[in-house]
Structures are given as C-alpha cells and as structure tokens.
Amino acid sequence: MTTRRTPWALAGVLAGLAGLATSYATANVLSIRESPVVAVAESVIKLTPGAAAERAISVLGHYDKPALVTGILVILLGCFAGAGLLARGAWWRPMLVWAAIAALGLAAVLSLPSSGATDILPIGVGAVTWVAVHSALVDALRRGRQRPELESRERRVFLMVAGAVAVSTVAIAGAGRFVGAGRRHVESSRRLLRIPGVTRRQPPPATSVGLKGIAPWQTPNEDFYRIDTAIALPTIAPEDWSLRIHGLVDREVTLSYADLVARQMTESWITLNCVSNEVGGGLIGNVRWSGVRIADLLADLGVSADADCVFQTSHDGWYCATPLAALTDDRDAMLAVAMNGRPLPIEHGFPVRTVVPGLYGYVSATKWVVDYEVTTFDTAVGYWTDKGWSAEGPVKIASRIDVPRSGDGVAAGEVSFGGVAWRQHTGIEAVEVQVDGGPWERADLGEVPSVDTWVQWAVTLDVPEGDHEVRVRAIGKDGETQTSAIARPDPDGSTGLHTIEISAS
C-alpha cells in the first residue's frame, strides 16, 4: 500500500515545491519585499494574540520567526502531499487544495500595507506552476497504472520527470535569490550613499493653507506616484552607472556618477505629473529634487544650432524625446540624484533620472537614464509618441478639490473647501470655486517658492441645506483660465473641471 501511495504524495510535494520556487523567484525578480510565504508568516504574526506571541518569543527567542516560517512550510508540505493523494480520485480534487492555499496567500498579501496589483503576481505564477507541474507528474503516474506491463519503464519516466522538477525547482529558487541579492546590494549602497551638496529641507511653512485633508504640499517619497514600463526594476549601483551624451554636440562625453556629483548641485521644488492623470486624479507629486542642471552640462559640451531635442534612453530600454528649449532655458531641468534630500528610491530612477519642470513625465522624466542623444524631432520619436501620444508634452493648467471628498456629507452653513492647482513653469495666479453654477469665488492661495510647483488653495463658502455640485478652476500667471471642455488624457493630457457632489444637512 505505502509503495503505491508514495509516488502520488511525492508528485504533490514536488509540484507544491515547484510552485513555491516560481512564486518566490517572481517576488524576487519583481523586487516585492515579501514573498507569499513571508506574507502569510507576517499575517500569522499580526493575527496572533499578544499573549500567545509573547509566549512564543519567550520560548523560542529570536528563533520565533524562522520557527514560524518553518512551521508554515511543514504545514504546506502536508497540504502538497494531500493534494498529491487526492489526484488518485477525480482530476479536479487537487485543484481544491491549490486553490485554497492560493486564496490564503492572496488574503495574506492583500492584507499587507501598500500591496498593489503586482504583489498578486507571484501567487498567480505559483498557482499555474502547481497545476501544470502536478498534471504532468500525474499523467506520468496514470500512464504507468493503465499499462501494468510498462510499469517499470513508466516508473523510470516518472522518476526522471520528478528529478527534473526537483532540479529546476532548486535552480529557479536560487536564480530568484541571486536577482534579489543584487537588488539588496544596490538598496544597501543606496541607503549608505551621502551625496555632497544634497540637503534636507522642510517646505516653507506658508506653502500650506492649513486645511486638513489637502494633499501635503511636499509629497513624501513613499507616497509619490509611480509610472513605468519596467516589470523588474533596474538595479544599478552608482559605480556601474554612466551617462553618454552625444549626437549634435561639439564634444561627446561619458559621465560617471562621480563625475556627475562632483559638479555644482542644484536643489529645487518641482511638481511632476503624468499625462495619464485624469481630472481630479493623483498621478502628481511635489518634492525637492537635487541634481545637476542639464543646461550647464550641455553648454559645456556645445550644442549644434540644428538640434531641437534630446533623445533620452533608460537602462531598461525606455526612451523619450525632450524639447531642447526646455532643457537649456532658465528653468531647473536637471539630472536628479535625490528626492527630498535622500538618494532617489530605486523605483523612482536610482541612481539618476531626468526632471524637467513644465513637461509631463512621458516626454521628459526618464528614470535610470543612461543616454542623451542631442538630435532633432524629425528623427527622434519617444516611446509614448510612437503609440500615438503628442511629441511635445507641456503640462496643462489644472486644479483639484481634495476636501471635502465627492459624496461627503457636510454640515450646512460655512464649509471649507481646499485642494491643489498647478501649471508648472507658468505658475498659478488664482483659483476659483463655484457652487451649483453660481458666481466664481476666489480662494486663498498658499505661497510657493517658484512657478514650478503646485499651489494649495482653500476657501470657506456658505452652503445651504441640500445636494450641491462644486467645481474648481485655476487661472495661470499668463492669464489662461482652465477650460471646462472635457478631454481624455490621450494624446496630450486631460482637461475639464474637477467637480464634486456634496450633501449639506
């Protein structure tokens, strides 16, 4: 009896381990901090009543966490063997086990703070591996059972398949670990990095209008929106980074990280936003960037009068074409090395990215940038321009209501409204709010250090009982009033007025 059951249990265990390995490797490659097993362990810790946790710690000391992970793995092995044995019955029975474990993992991963869509991927990869590998092994077993005369040959086939699964499982887990180790190395050198000339500074107090619920004027790095096409984040150690500047220049150069940070450091508050931001959306942030002005660099190299753009390429093969004029005029277009006084986070372009005030990110803000070709728009076409977006991407004037939130109930009478407005490199002259199509009321504005940042606004209006529609519009320092005409984000940025519905009682 045991000899008949063992291969079935073994098939389940091998398939299970193969799925754990692919999911672990996926988590490492995607640089997700927690692989699903760790997420489950963390959930167990969170769900363990304090007294029990203390008991565990007093008995196990620092071994509490390894013991927990080991315990989870032992339970998983039991489940895997169980799934294997279930395969002797109907084909779908083991699926119940795979689905149940995947659901548990999913619940654990989603309960983590700041988990997103990509965090689910390792579980998906693991589940697919379970089903695929397990059916292959079960197939090999079944064929052996149906044709007893072939049993010994089929057993050899099964053992070979099982051996191959075991070897690739170890290899995949090892490769995942290796990739993860590379990332950990870059992350630790990032954390230890001190860049001369990079300072930490609080935002000027007058930038805040003091109304709770408005996005903070300074966006914390961990809250800054992230947009890129990278599946696995490029991890580049500063000593491995360089930027080649070539094309229509008198002198071509390749800058190392040391060369770059040895130059004059410029620090400036700049709001960056994504062309895909919908009216009222959150793909925008404002931080203090530190870096080297691109205008000064290019002036040193001598740019040909024929050039009108710089074609930028990133380490991960993304590219965009940026108008030369925006890189060489008086604005602080820079090769940024720090965000809010800290080396760029890896997901925001470590070690070096471009930031250009007044342009959407898709035509300017190349993360992990490694190549600048000074050239012309005739020949240079950016990644998103290739897909139908505009070649030039100046930021459109926009404004957003942060308080109250649409759908909120408020007390009738005096109601405070507030939010942000932006038109980088032109500046905001005024913000106006309108209730139910009535008169436009001017809001108070926070102070800003330059025209390159967003502005907080707030206004208190008398709101009678009932349901109301509230809209906001901004007026630029150039006199342009934000349009109410609705446009989609493509091809060059959304327009329309952010409108909320509130109910006063």
Ligand X SMILES: Nc1nc2c(c(=O)[nH]1)N[C@H]1C(S)=C(S)[C@@H](COP(=O)(O)O)O[C@H]1N2
Binding site for ligand X (CB under 6 A): 224-229, 274, 314, 316, 318, 348, 361-362, 365-368
Residue 72 or 237 with smaller CB distance to ligand X: 237
Residue 332 C-beta: closest distance to ligand X, Å: 17
Q: Give the closest residue to 400 by CA, choosing from 354, 452, 338, 458.
A: 458
Q: What share of the chain is helix, strand, coil (3-state, %, to 5)?
A: 40, 25, 35
Q: Which stretch binds Mo ion (CB under 5 A): 43-51, 219-227, 299-307, 347-355?
A: 219-227
- DSSP 8-state class, residue 250: S
Q: How far apart are the first and last CA of the chain?
A: 75
> What is the contact mask toward Mo ion in residues 443 to 482, using x (rule: CB under 5 A)?
----------------------------------------
Q: How far is the CB of 356 from ligand X (least distance, A)?
A: 11
Partner whose binding site includes residue 368, from Mo ion, ligand X, none (CB under 5 to 8 Å by kind): ligand X
321 in Cβ contact with 385 (< 8 Å): yes
CB of 80 to Mo ion, least distance (A): 43
CA distance 164 to 166: 5
225 vs 440, beta carbon nearer ligand X: 225
Nearer to ligand X, 122 or 349 (CB): 349
Stretch that binds Mo ion, among 115-123, 177-185, 188-196, 266-274 (CB under 5 A): 266-274
When CB distances to Mo ion are compared, the closest residue is: 274
Binding site partner of 365, from ligand X, Mo ion, none, Cβ cut-off 5-8 A by kind: ligand X
For 19-28, letters b (16+ CB in 10 Å) and e give: bbbbbbbbbb
Q: Which of 269, 362, 368, 457 binds Mo ion (CB under 5 A)?
A: 362
What is the SS3 assignment for 241? Answer: coil
- Residue 24: name its binding partner from Mo ion, ligand X, none (Cβ under 5 to 8 Å by kind): none
Work out how close the CB of 233 gets to ligand X at its nearest, in angstroms, rounded to a whole number: 10
464 near 434, Cβ under 8 Å? no
Of the candidates 172, 140, 149, the one whose C-alpha atom is nearest the C-alpha of residue 11 is 140
Minimum CB distance to Mo ion smaller for 80 or for 362? 362
Token pair 């013991």 in the structure block, residue? 67
H runs (alpha helix) in 221-330: 257-261, 294-301, 324-328
Residue nearest to ligand X (CB): 361
98 interface partner picked from Mo ion, ligand X, none, CB below 5 to 8 A per type: none
Contact between 359 and Mo ion by CB under 5 A: the answer reads no
- 158's contact among Mo ion, ligand X, none, with CB below 5 to 8 A by partner kind, is none
- Closest contact distance (angstroms) between CB of 201 and ligand X is 20
Smallest separation (angstroms) from ligand X to the CB of 372: 13
Taking Cα atoms as reference points, which of 409, 384, 264 lies closest to residue 332? 264
Length of the chain in residues, anyone? 505
Q: Two tokens at 102?
A: 């995947």
Residue 423 half-sphere exposure toward CB, CA atoms < 13 A: 21
Applying CB under 5 A, the residues found at the interface with Mo ion are 227, 274, 361-362
